[in-house]
Copies of this chain bind each other. A is one copy, B any other.
Amino acid sequence: MSAAAEDTVERAVVLLSGGLDSATVLAAAIHAGFECHALSFRYGQRHDAELAAAARVAQALGAASHRVIGIELGSIGGSALTDADIPVPEAPTEGIPATYVPARNSVFLALGMGLAEVLDAGHLFIGVNAVDYSGYPDCRPEFIEAFQALASIATRRAVEGAPLALHAPLIRLTKAEIIRHGVALGVDYGLTVSCYQADETGAACGRCEACRLRRAGFEAAGLPDPTRYRD
Query: Interface of A with B (CB < 8 Å)?
Result: 67, 69-73, 75-78, 96, 100-107, 109-111, 113-115, 117-118, 137-138, 140, 142-143, 146-147, 149-150, 152-156, 158-159
Contacts and interface: CB of A to CB of B under 8 A. Distances in A.
A155 B77 CA distance: 15
Given A117-B102, A118-B102, A137 B159 contact: yes
Contacts of A140: 153
Contacts of A153: 137, 140, 142-143, 146
B156 A137 contact: yes
B118 A156 contact: no
Contact of A154 (B69, B96, B106, B154): B106
A114 B110 contact: no
- Specify the main secondary structure of chain A where it touches its partner: helix
B150 A114 contact: no
B103 A117 contact: yes
A117 B70 contact: no
B110 A107 contact: yes
Given A76-B69, A110-B110, A138 B154 contact: yes
A75 B71 contact: no
Contact of A155 (B69, B102, B154, B156): B102
Contact of A78 (B102, B111, B118): B118
A69 B71 contact: yes
A103 B155 contact: yes
Nearest to A135: B159
A100 to B, nearest CB: 7
Contacts of A149: 146, 149-150
Given A69-B73, A70-B72, A146-B149, 12 more contacts: A67-B76, A69-B72, A69-B76, A70-B70, A73-B111, A78-B118, A102-B115, A103-B155, A106-B150, A137-B158, A143-B150, A146-B150
